Amino acid sequence: MSTILPANAVLASLAWRNETGYATMMFVISFLAFIAVLAWLGLLFGRHRFWHAEPRLHHDDVVLSDTPTVAAIIPARDESQTIETTVRSLLAQDYSGQLNIIVVDDRSTDETAALVRALIPEAGPRRTITCLLNSERPEGWSGKLWAVKTGLLHLEAEAEPPGILLLTDADIAHDRRSLTSLFKNMVNGNRDLVSVMVRLRNRSFWERLLIPPFVFFFQMLYPFAAVNRDDLSMAAAAGGCVLLKRDALTDAGGIEAVKGALIDDVALGRLIKSRPNGKNRIWLGHSLHTASIRAYEGLGSIWHMVARTADTQLDHSLLKLAGTIVGMITIYLLPPLAVLTWPLHQDAALGFMGLIAWLMMSAAYTPTLKLYGASIFWGPSLPIASLLYVMMTIDSARLYRQGKGGMWKGRAFRG
């Protein structure tokens, strides 16, 4: 009897501890689910309606009375698969003014430069094509921005340098009305910088799973409505297509002011909007017609694109990385897990809160899906994409600490 009583007491104590531990765990999970619901309410109603996937660049038939010369600068490194399409799409612009296309060959190892030079005879009235070989990148410059600087130096050597710059990537197929519409937006809004988030390719399975979420997260980080308000400090741009006044760039300190930025489009938007002279008019929107033609057939190519700069977005801070991981798990992963594991926990309140948060998440994602012509049935997949983006961000932090941050086409740059 003396042996049995202590044994029963130990078993009872263990059972009590297990019950208490389970109850504590469920309380914490339920509390986090409640936080997820509150977070989605805040995102839906308190983040400048970022999820509306607006505004968008519109085309109209209004004729411009004044169309100044525009210089398009295209940094290009090993872009033989896309550069011809990009240059030809600029040659076909309906812009009535002069358009000088400057391709800066960033020491390509393929036929990029030869393909550009072969297009020179196709330049018609009011169109020119110039192909420059970029010099060795100086210390502290990212490859892309040094190529932009090379193009700017070429312009500054002209007797009358163009006052309007079009900064665009070498994988963009511009709608023929794009430049005219961008310039109208600049003139009508008295703006110094106008940029559009071009349509990214959305064909393969991995593109359908991960590209619309990429756009969704970008809008959440930089709500376009907030970027476009002069009274708010929020600033960003979309680097694939930026129309910019050259004097505004000069007044802000030149491209040198952001020379080491890996996320160069956001840095450029901030630079222009924060100029000390009080003029900070910028505009960011979506384009339904101008598109990126870069293919992301597999997970690896999208992973590399995100891992290249994700840790830079967090300022290389382990504390911000930890906060991002906890936040993403709570807001995006916990709600569906609370729903899908209901047969195990059978907690009605937890399941209900998870379902509400998941439905709000899917509803917020729907306008971006429609922007990309994707079925709304992709909506519930956002948590899966979120998990992959968390893993990419962790990998980005690892790469940075191994000295491989900012790797792009064989070159690493610690921005």
307 vs 295: CA distance, rounded Å: 17
The first and second tokens of residue 46, run together, are: 């308190």
The residues facing 284 across adjacent strands are: 195
* pLDDT computed for residue 137 by the predictor: 87
H or E element: which one contains 218? helix 205-221
pLDDT in tens, 49-87: 999 999 999 988 777 778 999 999 999 999 999 999 999
DSSP letters for 320-376? HHHHHHHHHIIIIIHHHHHHHTHHHH--HHHHHHHHHHHHHHHHHHHHHHHHTT--G
pLDDT of residue 217: 97
What are the phi and psi torsion angles at 242 (to 5°)?
-130, 125
Looking at the predicted structure, is the pLDDT value of residue 373 above 80? Answer: yes
pTM for the whole structure: 0.90
Q: According to the model, what pLDDT value does residue 11 have?
A: 47
What structural domains does the chain harbor?
70-296 (3.90.550.10)
H, E, C per residue of 106-122: CCCCCCHHHHHHHHHHH
Taking residues 183-212, report their average pLDDT: 95
- Residue range 187-193: average pLDDT? 93
Average pLDDT over residues 225-230: 95
Amino acid 66: pLDDT: 86
Q: What's the rounded Cα separation, in Å, for the pair 172 and 168?
A: 7
- Give the residue with greater pLDDT, 3 vs 406: 406
Residue 9 confidence (pLDDT) above 80:
no
Query: What percent of the chain has pLDDT above 90?
Result: 75
Average pLDDT, integer, range 180-209: 95
Closest CA to 111 of 80, 75, 147: 80
Please state the rounded mean pLDDT for residues 169-191: 95
What is the pLDDT, as a whole number, of residue 1? 47
- pLDDT number for residue 13: 53
Reported as a single tens digit per residue, the pLDDT across 330-367 is 999 999 999 999 888 888 899 999 999 999 999 999 99
110-163 pLDDT tens trace: 999 999 999 999 998 899 999 999 888 898 898 899 999 999 999 999 989 999
